[in-house]
Chain A
Amino acid sequence: MSEEITLVAIMIGVAHSGIRLATPYLYAAIGEMFAQRSGVLNLGVEGMMLMGAFSGFYATFQTGSPLLGLVVAALVGALMGLAMAFVTVTLHAEQGISGIGFYLFGLGASSLLFKVMLGSVEGVTGFRSIHLCVPGTEAGSGSCLSDVPVFGEIFLGHNILVYLAFGLIPVAWWFLNKTGWGLNIRAVGQNPEAADTLGVNVSRVRYATTTFGGLMAGVAGASLSIALLNIFQENLTNGLGFIAVALVYFGSWSPWGILAGAMLFSLVNALQLWVQVLGLNIPSDLAVMMPYLLTIIVLAVPFKRARQPAALTRPFERGEN
């Protein structure tokens, strides 16, 4: 095999893994973006993802149905989002610190449930990859659309949750910018007093977005445990939820920005995985560090970026000011 062919194969591999790896970030970050656009910083995404990942995994493990697992994960995530909304919107608790509370709770509770209800790392058959094969053949045999050189190899052969995550981006953009509800969300995050004057129920909007953020975090967790990895273990997400929050800042609170950030992050991640596979002479520990370093650098680059929602982290009470 000549070197050029290997290089192309590597690039295809990196692109394929990059698309896969972006999935959980996209779900979690889009949900978080809606919450932040309405003025709620949810730092508990990581904990909600862990709870979603475990509950989705457990439901799939017990019933064999990944679809049911996904629904359960979404419900558990939404429930935690609702709790976050109660604590921050109704009780006006400091948002950043409440998020840490939800993170610790989710980390502890998911590990606890895992140890009590499963005890050991098990595998499940989650959402299958879609290869679009000629009936009766298998992936890799050359008779599938996912075997089509370059295009098929990169964009096909993923599972349904990957495609849904990418499909979510334009929908989120349309919802936020082209519908009345989206306008209300933006108004509440930018100037809750003015929105209130115009008859928008600030609390209700924030409850809705924060609950939705939790729901998406649950789905993001499930996308790991029943679609990408098909296992659950303690602290499965390992900081992924925090990175999703960073991607919202990175993407300047816009779905397309988040897509760009998530792809950049996961492509670099995929690249470093391939570096390890190929055994190149770069210490793998330092390669793993690259995406994090890159995130800090991009956050620090002072190019013209949108300002954060003016009322982010600010509780609202009628009659104040």
Chain B
Amino acid sequence: MKRRFAVAPIVDALLPLLAVVGALLVGAVILALLGANPVEAYKAMFYGAFANKNGLADTLVKATPLLLVGLGIVIAFRAKVINIGAEGQLIVGSLLATYLAVELGETWPPILVAILCLIFGAFAGGIWAGIPGILKARLNVNEILSTIMMNAIAVQIGFFLLRGPMIDPAEVAAGTNIPHSARTPKITDLPRFTDTAKSLGFTESSSDLGLTGFDKELYGLFVEPTRAHIGLVIALLMAVAVYVLLWRTTIGYRIRAVGLNPNAARYAGINVPRYMVLSLSLSGAFAGLAGAVEILGLHHRMFEPLSVSAGYGFSGIVVALFGKLHPLGAIPSAILFGGLLVGGDKMQRAVQVPQVLVTALMGLIILFVVSSDIWSRRRAARRVIVERDDTAGDDNPTTPAKPTAEATL
């Protein structure tokens, strides 16, 4: 018996990987049906995303918002609140960050402006998620539906602002009226890896140092000009912060308690509605922060069709689930899916299969991950039976105790 339980956790840990393999196999069938060589396609994907400095940089650039959104989703799902509104929360965060950067950038100290943009981006996302939170807590409005509606509303507000109040004055002056905002002042841009390396004294290029192969690419990633920016560092720090919040503070304990069993939490004196609103709001704050980071680190302006969100609101859910709803697990998960997005683009060029295949693959990965949960749940249920049999002794050995619903959580 003991030996079986030692194997089980390993299988549990491997399940998400098996889910990816399963999804990739289905993807291979689709590729083959489309007349592309699956091995070629996946090779192009992998090499494109991880084998050179620009691929690596783009992967990390995509992993940054994925991780931030995913962290928010972890908090919400831990409280059993389903946040599907990260898309909208990200948009309002990036809108407010753009607005502040454009308005204050030239007049206030740039570092202060950048920090304010990040804080207020998060704040905007938090408010945007807080509205469905309060509606759920006070009026019992299903948060899945209200967060989806809030997405649509955020998009329309974005369109309105970019066509009117926030439109680039240069566009109006030129008469072209293309709906995008002014560029945020350069001094508020988040430093890129290359800027940071320069200020730390790394000035030689990789050929000066005689580096070759992957070492050269890795050195290039951190020192030579790529799109990689320190938003990633912010996201990594946030992952640690969320870990501390959830497992080392009272607030985090209560959030998890509400998620595990709201009734027990209520009996323990926890204000359940308040913690639901809080977790949804925190979740939105991370999405909003992701939006602000995207503006300051990558896009430097808002433009239609609001592609700043790029589906991160949904792929962030995949990242969180794949990371087993653990903030530190979300880190490799975000890098993997960032790589998948970048690799999809490279695959499109190599084997002429449209990049949208990656979206379908993400859907399949979600399905495989949630479906494979049954394995660990069944095992937990079996363990309950075994333990109860042990404690029941010889009194009633023929009737195994039934697993309870709680045991399957």
Contact = CB atoms under 8 A, between A and B. Distances in A.
B142 A100 contact: no
Interface in A51-108: 87, 91-94, 96-98, 100-108
Interface stretch (B199-207, B369-377, B391-399): B369-377
A280 interface: no
B148 A321 contact: no
Nearest to B154: A289
Interface residues of A, number: 46
A320 B403 contact: yes
B156 A103 contact: no
B155 to A, nearest CB: 9
A283 B354 contact: no
Interface string B348-385: 00000110111111111111001101100100000000
Contacts of B373: 92-94
Contact of A108 (B321, B362, B404): B362
A239 B156 CA distance: 13
Interface string A282-303: 0101101100110110011010
Of the candidates B149, B159, B353, the one having the most CB atoms from chain A within 10 angstroms of its own CB is B149
Nearest to B160: A285
A69 B34 CA distance: 22
B167 to A, nearest CB: 12
Contacts of A253: none
Given A92-B374, A96-B144, A104 B362 contact: yes
A296 B135 contact: yes
A87 B156 contact: no
Interface residues of B, number: 51
A319 B142 contact: no
B310 to A, nearest CB: 13
A208 B284 CA distance: 37
B363 A299 contact: no
Given A91-B374, A101-B364, A108-B356, A246 B148 contact: yes
A300 B314 contact: no
A246 B370 contact: no
Contact of B314 (A104, A116, A246, A289): A104
Contact of A91 (B139, B160, B371): B371
A289 B152 contact: yes
Interface in B296-331: 314-315, 317-318, 321
Given A104-B314, A111-B356, A116 B34 contact: yes
Given A293-B153, A299-B146, A105 B367 contact: yes
B2 interface: no
Contacts of A283: 160, 163-164
B142 to A, nearest CB: 6
Given A104-B360, A107-B359, A87 B367 contact: yes
A112 interface: yes
Given A107-B359, A108-B362, A321-B402, A101 B148 contact: no
B20 to A, nearest CB: 13
A212 interface: no
Contacts of A43: 144
Contact of A100 (B84, B153, B354): B84
Interface of A: 43, 47, 87, 91-94, 96-98, 100-109, 111-112, 115-116, 234, 239, 242-243, 245-246, 249, 283, 285-286, 288-289, 292-293, 295-296, 299-300, 302, 319-321
Interface of B: 30, 34, 82, 84, 135, 139, 141-142, 144-146, 148-153, 156-157, 159-160, 163-164, 314-315, 317-318, 321, 353-354, 356-367, 370-371, 373-374, 377, 402-405
